Structure 1
Amino acid sequence: MTDPRFFVDRSLGGKVIARLLRADGWDIVTMREFYGRAGDRMNDVPWITEQARLGHAILSCDGMILSNPLERAAISDYAARAFVLPTSQMTGPEQAARFIRHRAAIHDRATADSPAGFVVYESRLSRVLP
């Protein structure tokens, strides 16, 4: 089995978390790397759809991805796997540490064929979609 590729949403910033996750061996692409500056203005549904089609799992701290009906539908319809921090009030190193702490569980769930949305809490992942 190959390691999953992760798409880092702009809500996570990009530079710090990208550097730290890559140093831990994660295969990631940031929104800025993939879409350039145009990604700063993109609505979420088109990139969720495209990244799901490519098989990339999503890392984010934008809770709307798991609560907005259109974004939830994009996750479900295109079998996206999204891993979302419960707050945006964390530093880049704190965000990376949270994902790294749950690396095994995230990587395992990121390779599933079915759609899924998880909140990445301090001590556990909580599935909220579907």
Structure 2
Amino acid sequence: MRRLPDVFVDVSLGGVAVPRIFREAGYHVVTLHEQFGQRPVPDLEWMSWADERDMVVLCKDQRIRRNSAEKYALARSRLRVVCLTTGRLRSAEQQQLFLEHMPALERLWDMPERPWFYGISPSGLRRLGIEPSKESDKPLG
């Protein structure tokens, strides 16, 4: 029997509808608030935590791909990230979108090439770039 990856759901997707569909499909799901409480959690912190545990990440915030420090960390991780690219969907619409694309998502989990970052929208799944494009993309310090 195939082992399902653990799933981390960022606060941007909420803590109920999207986690529920993955839990009902047999996944072990951890939401940001379940793990870190109600405090604000920097993306780099939860990214590192999820990477250490080899989790699939579900989020809605594409800024990870644009923030230099986060993009740098993502590019050097082993994370598998699926990001909802349509920000105006209601909870039920988000849930339906993940349900519709569950078979395609499940084919992605075992891709040996990591990290990867896919966008999910009503038009489907699409791989999005994450590599820092120039020396200035590296974080300072």
Equivalence for 2:104: 105
Within a 5 Å distance, the mapping from 1:1-130 to structure 2 comes to 1-38=2-39, 41-113=40-112, 114-130=114-130
Output the TM-score relative to the length of structure 2.
Answer: 0.81
Unaligned runs of 5+ residues in structure 1 are none
Unaligned runs of 5+ residues in structure 2 are 131-141
SS at match of 2:58: strand
Distance 1:49 1:110 in 2: 19
Q: CA RMSD in A?
A: 1.6
SS at match of 1:46: helix
AA matched with 1:125? L
Between the two proteins, the alignment pairs up a number of residues equal to: 128
Output the TM-score relative to the length of structure 1.
Answer: 0.87
AA matched with 1:119? G
Distance 1:18 1:110 in 2: 17
Shift of 1:67: 2.3
Equivalence for 2:135: none
Identical residues among aligned pairs (%): 27
Q: Which runs of 4+ in 1 moved over 4 A?
A: none
